[in-house]
Structure 1
Amino acid sequence: GRDKPAHKVGTATYPGSLEGKDVVFSVTITLPQGVNALPQPVQVSYSTFDATDMKNAARHVAGTKPSEAQDYQKTSGMLVFPAGAQDAALTQTIAVKTIADEMVEEDEPFYLELVGIQNAQLNGPARATGYVRNNDVTVDLFAPHQGYQVKEGEPAKIIWSRSGIRTAMLNGLDVYVRVWTKSVTATPNTDYDHIAKNSQQSLRRVTNDTFPTVMNVLTFYDSLHEQDELFFVLMEVDAAKTSPDAQVTISEVGSTALVVIQDSNS
């Protein structure tokens, strides 16, 4: 009847969570005006569903073993609000476990739906949307097969970028890499402008817009007739400055680039 307490489902307590963490939904009982406590128990059944009608939808898994096609743990059950519940006891939460992977992908939606209600009315939508937020980042140096070949006195224009799906967001994660130089046959600060690994100059912040970035490493001219001289540009993740929830990958190929300084006097 009209005196039954109305039930409503809230949106996710957080619109989404980073993969590997819980997405938390809230379910709240709203009492009629003048009623201070729940007069009888209320049972609410719920279940998660894939958002198959939405682009890049998350996919559920019945077990806990992750794979490429699994983004969250299928969750169903029942909430029981006891008679006499009031104030904070009129809200309960549902935690849906998400599954971490190493794939760079867009944020993925799924649904939580209230599939059955006893002793209450539905007030508002029965379905709420949760999101599995991407936390995977791939960063690489562009490493030409023959190396970066530059005439002495010209800058070596080193290209690096955040690769993978360009629309996959970093979701507030701080990601930093170190890009520095290491001599092979070239003399640091004589043949090229050396960048020390732990210097401020080597520190680079990865952003959503890192597509791509050019880093100039200066080389120096001299009047000597000499063979081509070599040095490496290297990259690695700065774990101390990077958010612990970020899963950052630098491929073996993308972590090292060779620079060949060609003699200008030959």
Structure 2
Amino acid sequence: MSHAENLPLASSSSSSVVDVSPQRMLFFLLLLLIVRTPCPVVTASPPTMALWRHGNRVSIINICQHLETVDGGLTVRCSGLRLKQVPLGLSNRTTRLFLNKNLLTSLPADSFYDLFLLDELDLSYNQLSSLEAGCFSGLESSLSFLDLSSNRLSTLDPAVLGGLQVHANLTHNPWHCDCRMQLSVPQLVVDSSSLAEIVCQTSDISNPGAVGIPLVLLVEDWDLCLSVRRTTDILTLTTMLLWFLMLICYFVYYIRQNKLFARQHWDYLKFLENRVPFPDFTPA
């Protein structure tokens, strides 16, 4: 009897387990999946933000580190942000600007025109291959240190410097040593320890020994502007000869034209003399 009485209970308990457990198990499984599944968290590291904000160059400055100095100046560090151009809107109180370890490929004119207090500029470890004339315009009186090391620069035009007199680091660039380099380097104060690392990868000099040696040694042994002077002299001489020949041709043409005109005039006078007799003015 007791077994029969317990049977419905067991049956009831069994039915309760069958009805409730799947729901609980489903709930626990869903909860377990939610807990263990990594949620997509949107993070924005400085390089990513720099890429997103590439279209708005002013907002990129918000990512740069700003540090105010004791004298009221400003140190702006934009290193390693994958910048492809110099950001606009930099404060004119900036005295030190670090743009190293970015993706800059060129510097257009007036890139730092408003930074008239800039004393130090670091452009190292970029991909600079060209510097337009006037890119350092406005920095002639303030800039004292310029770092262009570890880029892709092959030549340095005096027009690019625009009268700068600064300490410069030009090492680790594939320099093509020509007359422009010979004229530009004396405008810069280069540390004697780094002169040996300004190596000529190529040169205007045909001598194979001029490749792979420091620029300072190349200038000591060869005049890189000599070929330019010779070319200029040849062009000047050729131009003078051409002008001289043109002048001679013009004189010959002028004389021939005058001779032809004089002959035609003389023949006409003879014709008139033969056709029309002159009246006799002999007094009676």
Task: Point out the structure with max Rg over C-alpha.
Answer: 2
| TM-score between both structures, scaled by the size of structure 1 | 0.23
| TM-score between both structures, scaled by the size of structure 2 | 0.22
**Of Structure 1 and Structure 2, which has the larger fraction of its residues in helix?**
2
**Of Structure 1 and Structure 2, which has the larger fraction of its residues in strand?**
1
Query: Relative contact order: is structure 1 or structure 2 higher (C-alpha 8 Å, sep ≥ 6)?
Result: 1
